[in-house]
Structure 1
């Protein structure tokens, strides 16, 4: 039986993870899967036939070390999914500029290195929005993500300047439908569509992650969402084993929030056949009959 490692963080105690639902279907395809800590320097990656990046939800605290580990895995005999090239492209949310250049609609975004309050204040008028979102370009789990009005931006200015003074960050208008409708996530394994969920934040919050009280429901995507998602996938530098495409509805139609190719939760719990589908795509070579 072949061996597969799920790359994870040392402890998932504070997180909700569904990757264990892959163990049984992968075993039916001849794969033994186990979860390993990406920070464990004692691991010989050659003992695995494949390494799948999964719940590394702390990589944003040390992205350089994370890339070093992935480079070590790619030099081993194990196949890394998604690939190092894809991860490097997807690590910084500046990939959104690449997608926008290829015609994918994204949420309007301003990019900064370091932080000055005056340009941020001008964005409220520029976008005609009462609120903005500020976050690092390398981020996960809504870490260091702020929903701000002109008043709260001014009140928190010293803290924000200190937090972002040496970091690249991004600013977007807050999209109210995140609260009133939710965020759509479409999942693809290989080039095969799997399922869609709608994530809505708890009352009084804007973060849709389960860890922050977000609620999930399985939905059927509108045709436009599927079309837009496939167009976004076509812009990725090379084929991927898995992808999650996150959208929000705006006054001008759907806009891309994120294209998650590193460690997205794939919510196997929300679709009874999704884990089997993932295992089949993983275990079957792309050109196999």
Structure 2
């Protein structure tokens, strides 16, 4: 068994170590391997599980090629390569919206295009927004848009500067524009984790004071939490939109006006918060054993 990771976590992060220990306890020989290390012979592994490939957004074409390499061996890569390939570009949100999934309103600014940010904000009626790459991880190259002088904080720029930044960013990549959601600062972003198709546990992620990014590297706080049943039901409906069987999925969203709005359906390389939920590493290992049994 190979656990696919990145160079920064070549020896696995704490969460992945819990998973590896659970696999070893079930008789697997487990080895961490860096996804873009050319010396790795992926064909020698019976199974490969994507976990901390958190540099994929820096080399998306190479990452897609790496995923494509597993198509000839169905059942070797988890999650399945077709499902992950469809999940790399966050434009999938618009596909889910067309299927009836309530999402955070999203505009895609195509690379090589000429999207005027001010026009988008005026048409949508957004006085504040968040701009991010369509292929991204860890809130890289993500910023907040606001003309309010009181709207302080890191990586927050006015509309004029943000418009220039967006034009520069879309020279060679697609970008997403979404409204800023104050609910994330006040109540936190939900992350609901599904293992082997079944709901396992949930996390809330809140940003540091004055920030809008929930990732821990930006000062965000992650805690275990118990979501209301209706949010679990809504999240389960989101995972059901994926035709392929999934080993893991993380449904990120926010509660607004009594609705659960999807922010991301993470089936590529999501942090699963196993350390926040006793028994979840065992559940993930059991799900893998069940998925790979003859």
Shared fold (TM-score greater than 0.5)?
Answer: yes
Offset, 1:34: 1.7
CA deviations on 1:120-169 (whole Å, 9 max, x unpaired) are 21333333332111111111111111110147120343333222222211
Determine the C-alpha separation between the residues in 1 that align with 2:79 and 2:243.
11
Instruction: Specify the SS of the correspondent of 1:244.
Output: strand
Q: For the Cα contact (< 8 Å) 2:247–2:291, is it kept in 1?
A: no
Aligned counterpart, 2:152: none
Aligned counterpart, 1:70: 67
Structure 2 residue 100 is matched with structure 1 residue 103:
yes
Offset, 1:251: 2.8
Q: For the Cα contact (< 8 Å) 1:23–1:32, is it kept in 2?
A: no
Q: For the Cα contact (< 8 Å) 1:45–1:78, is it kept in 2?
A: no
Q: For the Cα contact (< 8 Å) 2:253–2:264, is it kept in 1?
A: yes
Instruction: Specify the SS of the correspondent of 1:64.
Output: helix
Structure 2 residue 11 is matched with structure 1 residue 5:
no
Q: For the Cα contact (< 8 Å) 1:199–1:208, is it kept in 2?
A: yes
Offset, 1:252: 5.4
Offset, 1:77: 8.2
Mapping of 1:241-280 within 5 angstroms?
A: 241-251=247-257, 253-280=259-286
Q: For the Cα contact (< 8 Å) 1:16–1:211, is it kept in 2?
A: no
Determine the C-alpha separation between the residues in 2 that align with 1:11 and 1:244.
22
Determine the C-alpha separation between the residues in 1 that align with 2:74 and 2:261.
39
Determine the C-alpha separation between the residues in 1 that align with 2:108 and 2:137.
17
Q: For the Cα contact (< 8 Å) 1:51–1:78, is it kept in 2?
A: no
Which stretch has the larger CA shift, 142-151 or 131-140? 142-151
Given candidates 48, 52, 55, the residue that maps to 2:52 is 55
Determine the C-alpha separation between the residues in 2 that align with 1:230 and 1:108.
20
Structure 2 residue 18 is matched with structure 1 residue 26:
no
Q: For the Cα contact (< 8 Å) 2:202–2:225, is it kept in 1?
A: yes
Which stretch has the larger CA shift, 66-75 or 40-49? 66-75
Instruction: Specify the SS of the correspondent of 2:222.
Output: strand
Mind listing any 5+ residue stretches in structure 1 that lack a counterpart? none
Mind listing any 5+ residue stretches in structure 2 that lack a counterpart? 148-156
Mapping of 1:76-225 within 5 angstroms?
A: 79-114=76-111, 116=114, 118=116, 120-150=117-147, 152-225=158-231
Aligned length: 283
TM-score under structure 2 normalisation? 0.90
Q: For the Cα contact (< 8 Å) 1:45–1:76, is it kept in 2?
A: no
Offset, 1:249: 1.5
TM-score under structure 1 normalisation? 0.91
Aligned counterpart, 1:235: 241
Q: For the Cα contact (< 8 Å) 1:49–1:77, is it kept in 2?
A: no
Q: For the Cα contact (< 8 Å) 2:75–2:292, is it kept in 1?
A: no
